[in-house]
Amino acid sequence: MSDSSRPTPPSAHVRMPGDGWVNCRCGNKHWGLNGAAGLFLARKNSRGEWSDVVLQHRALWSHQGGTWGIPGGALMDGETAHDAAVREAHEEAGIDKAHVVRLGSHVFSHADWSYTTIIAESTDPHMRVHPTDAESLEIQWVPLTNIVAALNSQHPDLRLLPAFAHAFPSLYAVLKNSTH
Protein backbone atom coordinates (compact mmCIF):
# COMPACT_ATOMS: atom_id res chain seq x y z
CA MET A 1 0.00 0.00 0.00
CA SER A 2 1.48 3.37 -0.92
CA ASP A 3 1.77 6.17 1.61
CA SER A 4 -0.92 8.18 -0.21
CA SER A 5 -3.46 5.34 -0.03
CA ARG A 6 -2.71 4.34 3.57
CA PRO A 7 -5.47 5.27 6.02
CA THR A 8 -4.49 8.25 8.14
CA PRO A 9 -3.94 8.08 11.89
CA PRO A 10 -6.73 9.24 14.15
CA SER A 11 -6.84 13.02 14.61
CA ALA A 12 -5.99 12.57 18.31
CA HIS A 13 -2.51 11.28 17.37
CA VAL A 14 -0.03 13.84 18.70
CA ARG A 15 3.51 14.03 17.35
CA MET A 16 6.20 13.95 20.02
CA PRO A 17 9.86 15.07 19.91
CA GLY A 18 11.63 12.24 18.09
CA ASP A 19 8.64 11.31 15.91
CA GLY A 20 9.37 11.50 12.20
CA TRP A 21 10.84 9.62 9.27
CA VAL A 22 14.56 9.19 8.60
CA ASN A 23 15.56 8.84 4.95
CA CYS A 24 18.27 6.25 5.40
CA ARG A 25 21.21 5.73 3.06
CA CYS A 26 20.03 2.11 2.75
CA GLY A 27 17.23 3.45 0.55
CA ASN A 28 14.42 2.96 3.09
CA LYS A 29 12.54 5.30 5.37
CA HIS A 30 12.61 4.43 9.09
CA TRP A 31 10.42 5.80 11.89
CA GLY A 32 12.14 7.68 14.72
CA LEU A 33 14.42 10.69 14.31
CA ASN A 34 16.54 9.39 17.23
CA GLY A 35 16.08 5.73 16.35
CA ALA A 36 13.41 3.41 17.68
CA ALA A 37 12.97 0.64 20.24
CA GLY A 38 10.56 -2.15 21.08
CA LEU A 39 9.87 -4.66 23.85
CA PHE A 40 10.09 -8.41 23.21
CA LEU A 41 8.28 -9.47 26.41
CA ALA A 42 8.10 -13.20 27.09
CA ARG A 43 6.63 -15.36 29.82
CA LYS A 44 7.18 -18.92 30.96
CA ASN A 45 4.65 -21.71 31.33
CA SER A 46 4.10 -23.76 34.50
CA ARG A 47 7.06 -26.00 33.54
CA GLY A 48 9.40 -23.00 33.47
CA GLU A 49 9.74 -23.02 29.65
CA TRP A 50 9.44 -19.93 27.49
CA SER A 51 5.95 -20.10 26.03
CA ASP A 52 4.48 -16.77 24.88
CA VAL A 53 5.44 -13.30 23.67
CA VAL A 54 3.36 -10.11 23.61
CA LEU A 55 2.60 -9.14 20.01
CA GLN A 56 0.81 -6.13 18.57
CA HIS A 57 -1.47 -6.39 15.54
CA ARG A 58 -0.56 -3.07 13.95
CA ALA A 59 -3.27 -0.56 12.98
CA LEU A 60 -3.98 -0.45 9.27
CA TRP A 61 -2.96 3.22 9.02
CA SER A 62 0.52 2.49 10.42
CA HIS A 63 3.63 1.59 8.41
CA GLN A 64 3.16 -2.05 7.29
CA GLY A 65 -0.22 -2.01 9.01
CA GLY A 66 -2.09 -5.26 9.54
CA THR A 67 1.07 -7.16 10.45
CA TRP A 68 2.09 -8.50 13.87
CA GLY A 69 5.17 -7.28 15.71
CA ILE A 70 6.26 -6.12 19.13
CA PRO A 71 5.10 -2.88 20.77
CA GLY A 72 7.59 -0.14 20.07
CA GLY A 73 8.26 3.23 18.54
CA ALA A 74 10.43 6.30 18.28
CA LEU A 75 12.95 7.30 20.93
CA MET A 76 12.16 10.72 22.35
CA ASP A 77 14.93 13.30 22.68
CA GLY A 78 17.41 12.11 25.34
CA GLU A 79 15.57 8.82 26.01
CA THR A 80 17.40 5.49 26.29
CA ALA A 81 16.30 2.54 24.17
CA HIS A 82 15.26 0.64 27.31
CA ASP A 83 13.13 3.53 28.57
CA ALA A 84 11.56 4.01 25.13
CA ALA A 85 10.71 0.31 24.76
CA VAL A 86 9.06 0.14 28.18
CA ARG A 87 7.22 3.44 27.62
CA GLU A 88 5.93 2.32 24.23
CA ALA A 89 4.83 -1.06 25.63
CA HIS A 90 2.89 0.73 28.35
CA GLU A 91 1.36 3.23 25.90
CA GLU A 92 0.36 0.58 23.34
CA ALA A 93 -0.31 -2.56 25.39
CA GLY A 94 -0.87 -1.52 29.01
CA ILE A 95 2.30 -3.30 30.16
CA ASP A 96 3.33 -2.35 33.70
CA LYS A 97 7.09 -1.76 33.86
CA ALA A 98 7.10 -3.03 37.46
CA HIS A 99 6.64 -6.55 35.99
CA VAL A 100 9.34 -6.30 33.30
CA VAL A 101 12.82 -7.75 33.89
CA ARG A 102 15.37 -7.00 31.19
CA LEU A 103 17.27 -10.05 29.93
CA GLY A 104 19.21 -8.52 27.05
CA SER A 105 18.95 -6.51 23.87
CA HIS A 106 19.42 -6.76 20.14
CA VAL A 107 20.37 -3.79 17.92
CA PHE A 108 19.57 -3.53 14.22
CA SER A 109 21.79 -0.70 13.04
CA HIS A 110 22.20 1.39 9.90
CA ALA A 111 24.50 4.35 9.34
CA ASP A 112 21.59 6.76 9.83
CA TRP A 113 19.24 4.91 12.18
CA SER A 114 18.92 1.99 14.61
CA TYR A 115 16.22 -0.14 16.24
CA THR A 116 16.90 -1.65 19.65
CA THR A 117 14.82 -4.56 20.88
CA ILE A 118 14.78 -5.04 24.63
CA ILE A 119 14.31 -8.72 25.44
CA ALA A 120 12.53 -9.12 28.77
CA GLU A 121 10.57 -11.46 31.01
CA SER A 122 7.19 -10.75 32.54
CA THR A 123 7.29 -11.45 36.28
CA ASP A 124 3.48 -11.64 36.23
CA PRO A 125 2.52 -14.83 34.36
CA HIS A 126 -1.11 -13.63 34.26
CA MET A 127 -0.37 -10.10 33.03
CA ARG A 128 -3.30 -8.80 31.02
CA VAL A 129 -2.34 -7.03 27.80
CA HIS A 130 -4.72 -5.05 25.61
CA PRO A 131 -4.70 -2.18 23.11
CA THR A 132 -4.41 1.12 24.95
CA ASP A 133 -4.18 3.44 21.95
CA ALA A 134 -5.17 3.64 18.28
CA GLU A 135 -1.89 2.11 17.05
CA SER A 136 -3.12 -1.46 17.61
CA LEU A 137 -5.91 -3.61 16.26
CA GLU A 138 -5.10 -6.23 18.90
CA ILE A 139 -2.50 -6.99 21.57
CA GLN A 140 -2.08 -10.63 22.61
CA TRP A 141 0.17 -13.13 24.29
CA VAL A 142 1.10 -15.25 21.26
CA PRO A 143 2.56 -18.75 21.68
CA LEU A 144 6.16 -18.98 20.45
CA THR A 145 5.11 -22.08 18.49
CA ASN A 146 2.69 -19.91 16.47
CA ILE A 147 5.44 -17.44 15.65
CA VAL A 148 7.71 -20.26 14.46
CA ALA A 149 4.81 -21.66 12.39
CA ALA A 150 4.26 -18.21 10.82
CA LEU A 151 7.96 -18.00 9.93
CA ASN A 152 7.61 -21.37 8.18
CA SER A 153 4.47 -20.26 6.30
CA GLN A 154 2.37 -22.66 8.38
CA HIS A 155 0.26 -20.03 10.16
CA PRO A 156 -1.24 -17.78 7.45
CA ASP A 157 -3.40 -15.84 9.95
CA LEU A 158 -0.30 -14.52 11.71
CA ARG A 159 1.28 -12.17 9.16
CA LEU A 160 4.49 -10.96 10.83
CA LEU A 161 6.03 -7.53 10.39
CA PRO A 162 8.97 -8.30 8.04
CA ALA A 163 11.60 -6.69 10.29
CA PHE A 164 10.29 -8.67 13.29
CA ALA A 165 10.29 -11.91 11.29
CA HIS A 166 13.89 -11.24 10.27
CA ALA A 167 14.99 -10.46 13.85
CA PHE A 168 13.03 -13.22 15.61
CA PRO A 169 15.76 -15.93 15.49
CA SER A 170 18.24 -13.53 17.14
CA LEU A 171 15.70 -12.36 19.72
CA TYR A 172 14.73 -15.93 20.57
CA ALA A 173 18.40 -16.91 20.93
CA VAL A 174 18.93 -14.13 23.50
CA LEU A 175 15.79 -15.28 25.34
CA LYS A 176 16.83 -18.95 25.40
CA ASN A 177 20.36 -18.11 26.56
CA SER A 178 19.30 -15.77 29.36
CA THR A 179 20.16 -16.89 32.87
CA HIS A 180 17.12 -15.37 34.58
* pLDDT digit string (tens) for the chain, length 180 residues: 334 444 555 555 567 788 888 777 787 786 778 888 999 999 999 999 999 999 999 998 888 889 999 999 998 999 999 999 999 999 999 999 999 999 999 998 888 888 899 999 999 989 999 999 988 999 999 999 999 999 999 888 899 999 999 999 999 999 999 866
* Predicted TM-score (pTM) of this structure: 0.86
Q: Which domains does the chain have, with CATH numbers?
A: 17-176 (3.90.79.10)
Q: CA nearest 55: which of 164, 173, 157?
A: 164
Which pLDDT belongs to residue 114? 85
- 3-state SS, residue 89: helix
CA proximity to 60, closest of 104, 19, 8: 8
The angle formed by the CA atoms of residues 119, 83 and 127, to the nearest 5 degrees, is 55
Strand ranges for the chain from DSSP E: 21-23, 29-31, 36-44, 50-58, 68-69, 72-74, 100-109, 114-122, 136-143
